[in-house]
């Protein structure tokens, strides 16, 4: 979505005007920070997200819808940590605190940490920077964050130092169209989903998701007595018409539960199908959500793995975006960027763009929802790992800045584009098109392949699941592991009648990706009684 024109002046009353400010850009971040004053955030400091957003920058936007009618009693009754409420007084000058049960940083047996990372000018690893942090850097005036603070107890929303960067990044990329949006940190999106289910679901409820979806989501919801209803998909992801049909025709007696109020979707580089919803598709699904008053959980670990268009084998590569602005405009707008009602909780993660072991992510939602989430975190996961937050702060805030982070994301985009192209070229070369088909993914880490099991010799006497299992083990005998498509079906009672296998091109060396696809093709030819490829494949 293009940013608004520089300045719009709209009538507010008959005698006054209201100025709509420019959309935040990288070059405006420093100016906003200067206006809000130096960030002073010590141990367990509360974060002022309003200051991070700019006090008046979003005043022209409407307020979010309230969600009291959708929140569970558990979510509404949580009052947060009474002891952590006292942390707001720690900023008082001259205060001697004998109140908090905090261990002394004097006894933290870590005086300094250092780690090496690639320079952005040489992201391939030819050059490196060494980042270091000491225990008392804040007292020495050399940094806004140090080990004495990071290794101490913190607030459920995470450190103010890192959260400020995440709030700014969210606005740079998505610019939510309502005024009272906020962010709070998570210990990863799986935990964020677990908390969201507790906030919006109770035993006997149903939630909605794609007909092939992330198994951990289903497995997280199941022990809480929450089931997942499947919505049909095509190559462009979830179908809005199917979503509307499921809701219009919902039979509470047959389903054994009330009409769903929660929609879970992975819109970009979806796991497992690799599909990416277009802007038009997202608008259609959002309209259905408005019609049925759904709350949307937008899970986006692959958002920045949107790749260059696939041009085919031996074709020239599409050049990378030439600027930060061009890069941001090339991204499919998020549900968050379309969310005029405040009915979206967007879950972001560093798992695919930095490292999954950091266990740091963040959600963006209305202030009401973020507050409910953070008080829940205060009494469960608490703040994300201080070591992880410190490493991310040093990388994002002190080493890269917003421009450098976008440069890294663009680097990752091009790396995944190259990997995606390798697996597609291998599919063209080695797979028998008589029985298997595929589409080029636009984003993510996964190649989704449909197998025409109806052409299998055992079709007349065996079920889809039996033949799928045979093909899975045949492929294993050939030395390649692919995931069964049936493992990703959220509602096992729904028979899609289709067979798929999922491959990932994210981690294996490129030559092994090619070899694995060759072996898969070989196992399919054997199983379907097809002629073997000549050496080299064609």
pLDDT tens, 180-222? 999 999 999 999 999 999 999 999 999 999 999 999 999 999 9
Range from 376-380, 407-411, 433-437, 516-520 carrying the lowest mean pLDDT: 376-380
Q: Taking the CA atoms of 533, 438, 314 and 407 in sequence, report the sign of the dihedral they define.
A: negative
Residue given tokens 């092994």 in the structure block:
512
Range from 82-86, 350-354, 394-398, 466-470 carrying the lowest mean pLDDT: 82-86
Q: How many helices (H) and strands (E) does the chain have?
A: 19, 17
What mean pLDDT is predicted for residues 234-247?
98
> What pLDDT score does 16 carry?
41
- 428 sits in which H/E element: helix 401-430
Range from 282-291, 305-314, 343-352, 443-452 carrying the lowest mean pLDDT: 305-314
Between CA 454 and CA 463 the distance in angstroms is 10
Between CA 71 and CA 376 the distance in angstroms is 13
What mean pLDDT is predicted for residues 455-465?
96
Provide, rounded to the nearest whole percent, the portion of the chain with pLDDT above 70: 92
> What pLDDT score does 181 carry?
97
Tell me the β-bridge partners of 278: none
Return the closest-CA partner of residue 395 out of 407, 385, 404, 387: 404
Q: At what angle do helices 279-292 and 240-248 cross, to 10 degrees?
A: 10
CB of 193 within 8 A of CB of 347? Answer: yes
Provide, rounded to the nearest whole percent, the portion of the chain with pLDDT above 90: 76
CB of 81 within 8 A of CB of 63? Answer: no
Q: Predicted confidence band at 387 (pLDDT cuts at 50, 70, 90)?
A: very high
Phi, psi of 355 (to 5 degrees): -170, 135
473 CB neighbour count, 10 Å cutoff: 11
Q: Is residue 80 pLDDT above 90, yes or no?
A: no
Q: Is residue 3 pLDDT above 60, yes or no?
A: no
Range from 132-141, 379-388, 439-448 carrying the lowest mean pLDDT: 379-388
Strongest mean pLDDT among 315-319, 382-386, 502-506: 502-506
Tell me the β-bridge partners of 117: 129
Structure tokens at 110: 């870590």
Residues 478-501: pLDDT tens digits?
999 999 999 999 988 888 899 999
Sheet holding 181-186, edge to edge: 181-186, 361-366, 344-349, 295-299, 262-265, 206-210, 227-231
The SS3 call for residue 190 is helix
> What pLDDT score does 88 carry?
66
Q: Is residue 401 pLDDT above 80, yes or no?
A: yes
> What pLDDT score does 55 carry?
80
Q: Predicted confidence band at 46 (pLDDT cuts at 50, 70, 90)?
A: confident
Sheet holding 483-484, edge to edge: 436-438, 446-451, 499-504, 483-484
Structure tokens at 530: 């097809």
Between CA 158 and CA 466 the distance in angstroms is 48
CB of 286 within 8 A of CB of 339? Answer: yes
Tell me the β-bridge partners of 484: 501
232 CB neighbour count, 10 Å cutoff: 15
Return the closest-CA partner of residue 151 out of 394, 393, 385, 392: 385
């Amino acid at each position: 979505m293009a940013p608004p024109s520089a300045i719009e002046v709209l009538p507010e009353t008959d005698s006054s005007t209201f100025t709509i400010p420019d959309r935040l850009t990288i070059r405006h971040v420093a100016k906003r920070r200067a206006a809000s004053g130096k960030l002073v955030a010590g141990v367990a400091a509360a974060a002022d997200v309003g200051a991070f957003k700019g006090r008046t920058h979003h005043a022209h936007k409407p307020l979010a819808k309230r969600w009291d009618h959708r929140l569970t009693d558990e979510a509404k009754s949580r009052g947060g940590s009474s002891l952590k409420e006292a942390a707001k007084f720690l900023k008082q000058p001259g205060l001697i605190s004998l109140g908090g049960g905090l261990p002394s940083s004097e006894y933290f047996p870590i005086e300094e940490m250092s780690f090496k990372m690639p320079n952005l000018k040489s992201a391939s690893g030819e050059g490196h920077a060494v980042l270091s942090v000491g225990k008392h850097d804040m007292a020495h005036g050399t940094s806004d964050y140090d080990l004495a603070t990071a290794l101490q107890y913190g607030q459920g929303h995470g450190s103010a130092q890192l959260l400020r960067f995440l709030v700014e990044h969210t606005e740079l990329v998505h610019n939510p169209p309502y005024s009272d949006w906020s962010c709070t940190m998570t210990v990863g999106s799986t935990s964020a989903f677990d908390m969201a289910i507790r906030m919006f679901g109770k035993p006997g409820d149903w939630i909605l998701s794609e007909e092939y979806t992330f198994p951990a989501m289903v497995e997280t919801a199941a022990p809480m007595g929450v089931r997942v209803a499947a919505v049909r998909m095509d190559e462009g992801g979830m179908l809005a018409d199917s979503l509307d049909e499921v809701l219009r025709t919902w039979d509470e007696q047959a389903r054994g539960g009330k009409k769903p109020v929660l929609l879970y979707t992975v819109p970009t580089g979806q796991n497992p199908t690799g599909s990416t919803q277009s802007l038009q598709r997202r608008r259609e699904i959002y309209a259905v959500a408005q019609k049925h008053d759904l709350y949307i959980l937008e899970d986006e670990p692959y958002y920045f793995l949107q790749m260059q268009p696939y041009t085919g084998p031996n074709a020239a590569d599409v050049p990378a975006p030439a600027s930060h602005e061009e890069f941001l405009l090339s991204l499919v707008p998020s549900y968050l960027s379309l969310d005029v009602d405040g009915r979206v909780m967007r879950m972001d993660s560093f798992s695919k763009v930095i490292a999954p072991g950091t266990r740091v992510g963040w959600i963006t939602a209305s202030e009401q929802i973020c507050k409910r989430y953070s008080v829940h975190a205060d009494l469960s996961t608490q703040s994300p790992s201080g070591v992880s937050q410190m490493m991310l702060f040093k990388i994002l805030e002190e080493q890269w800045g917003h421009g450098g982070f976008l440069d890294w994301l663009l680097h990752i985009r091009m790396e995944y584009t190259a990997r995606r192209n390798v697996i597609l070229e291998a599919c063209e070369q080695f797979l028998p098109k008589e029985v298997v088909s595929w589409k080029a993914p636009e984003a993510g880490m996964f190649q989704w392949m449909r197998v025409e099991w109806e052409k299998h010799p055992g079709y007349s006497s065996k079920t889809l699941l039996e033949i799928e299992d045979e093909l899975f083990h045949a492929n294993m005998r050939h030395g390649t592991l692919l995931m069964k498509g049936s493992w990703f079906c959220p509602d096992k009672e729904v028979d899609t009648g289709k067979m798929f296998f999922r491959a990932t091109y994210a981690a294996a060396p490129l030559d092994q990706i090619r070899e694995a696809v060759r072996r898969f093709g070989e196992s399919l030819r054997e199983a379907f009684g097809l002629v073997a490829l000549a050496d080299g494949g064609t």
